[in-house]
Amino acid sequence: MSSERILIVGGGQGGFQVAASLRDHGYGGTITIVGDEPDLPYQRPPLSKGYLSGKANDEQILLRPPAFYATRNIELRMPERVTRILRGAQEVELGCGARIGYEHLVLATGARARALAVPGAGLDGVVPLRDLAHAGEVRRRLQSASRVVVVGAGFIGLEIAAIASTMGIETHVLELADRALKRALSVATSEFLASAHAAQGTRFHFSTAVAEIVGRDGKVCAVTTAAGQRLEADLVIVGVGVEPNCTLAREAQLAVSNGIVVDRHLLTADPAISAIGDCAVYPSAFYPHPVRVESVQNAVDQARCVAARLAGKPEPYHKVPWFWSDQGANKLQIAGIASENDSAVVRGDLASGKFSVFRFRDRRLSAVESVNQPGEHLSARKLLDKAAPLTPEQAADTGVSLAALLA
C-alpha cells in the first residue's frame, strides 16, 4: 500500500536536490532518502579536483551539514540498500528485509565505475575513482607514490594526472583511443589539453590497451601493454568510464536502454516512478536521440524539475547540458552535446590558451567547448538555450559579438 511519502533511492547530488527542492516548494509529506554510502550527501566534482589535492576536506564537500536534514524533516537511511521495487504495492524492499511504501519513487541511483577486465585488476594499489571512499584512498596513496599509471584519458583520468604530475610524480596515461577525450571533444581542444599535460611531464600512450597489471607480493608494481611495453607503477588509477545503475529498474520491468528510460517529464512508464541524473536516458531538445548525461548540472536540474512536478508545477525538462573540468591551470567548460562527426570552428587563438571551439551539426550550433573563457561559455549556454541563429562563419569571427546575437 502506498503512503504519503516521496522515496528517493540514491544519496548523491540529484537525490539530495529532489528532497531539498520539495521542501522549498512546501511539500509537507514524508521525504526519505535511501543511500548505500555511509556519508551524508556530498559533492562529487571535488573528488578529482580540490579534495584529491588536499584543498578541500570531508566537511567542506558536504552538500549540507547534519542539522539541515533535521530542520527540514528529511529522513536519511544511510548506509542502506534497496534490493527490490514492488511496483504493485508501491513499496521497496531494503537489504535489511524492511519495506518502505511510497506515494512516488525517484530513482537517482547514479552510475558505477566501469571495471578494468584484465589480469591483476584486483591487486592492492589498483583503484577507481567514483566515490568518497575511492577519493580518500587515492589521496592517501598519492602522498607516497612515485610512479602512477592512469588508465583512461577521460575527464577523471586527466584531472588526476594533472594533480599527480603537479606533485612531482612520474605519470603515464594509457588510452585505447588515438587521442584524449575523443568522444567528448573536438580535435583542437583535445590536442591543446594533451599538450598542456605533456608540458607538465605527463606521458601519454594513445592507441594502447592494457594487457596485464603486474603485482609483487599482492601489490601492483607495473602495467604491461598489448604491445609489450612495461611501465613501472606503485599506483594504478582506473578511469575507463562508468555504467548506469539500472538493476533495480530492470528487475522491476521498467524500460532500460543504456539507462532508465524516461519521458520529457522524467517519468518512467510507471506514473509513480521517476528517474534522474546519470542513470536516466531522456529525450533532449539539444540532441537528436534520447541521451544520458553524466554531469552534476544535469542531475541537479532534473531533480528540480521532478520536485516541481511533484509539488503540482509540472514542466517538461528543458535545460542546456553543461559541464566543466579543471586540469592543471586550464579550465574547460562545455555547453551542449556534440557528436564526434559535428564540425568544429575555432574562435580565438589556441596559442594564447584562451579560446572556444564551436561545434555544428548541419550548420546548427550543437555545443561549445571553452578553455579559460568563462564569458564565452555563458554566452554559449544562452545561444543554445534560445536556439539563436549562429553560422560557422560568425563563430570563427571574433569581431562578431555573441552578446549582440543574443540581443
Mean pLDDT lowest among 1-5, 144-148, 208-212, 353-357? 1-5
Report pLDDT for 143. 94
Report pLDDT for 3. 62
Kindly list the structural domains of the chain, giving each domain's residue range(s) and its CATH number in brackets, ordered by start.
5-112+243-310 (3.50.50.60), 121-240 (3.50.50.60), 329-406 (3.30.390.30)
First to last CA, the chain: 53
Contact indicator for 211, 229 with CB cutoff of 8 Å: no
pLDDT in tens, 277-313: 999 999 999 999 999 999 999 999 999 999 999 999 9
Amino acid at residue number 203: R
pLDDT in tens, 55-83: 899 999 999 999 999 999 999 999 999 99
Record the pTM. 0.95
Averaged pLDDT for residues 165-170: 96
Report percent pLDDT > 90 for the chain: 94
* Pairing assessment for the beta strands 235-238 and 147-151 based on DSSP bridges: parallel
Neighbour-count burial of 103, counting CB atoms closer than 10 A to its CB (0-12 exposed, 13-18 middle, 19+ buried): middle
What are the cell numbers at 302?
Answer: 532534473
What are the cell numbers at 190?
Answer: 583535445
3-state SS track over 133-168: HHHHHHHHHHCCCCEEEEECCCHHHHHHHHHHHHCC
Residue 231 has pLDDT above 70, yes or no: yes
| Cβ atoms < 10 Å from Cβ of 403 | 10
Question: H/E element holding 55?
Answer: none
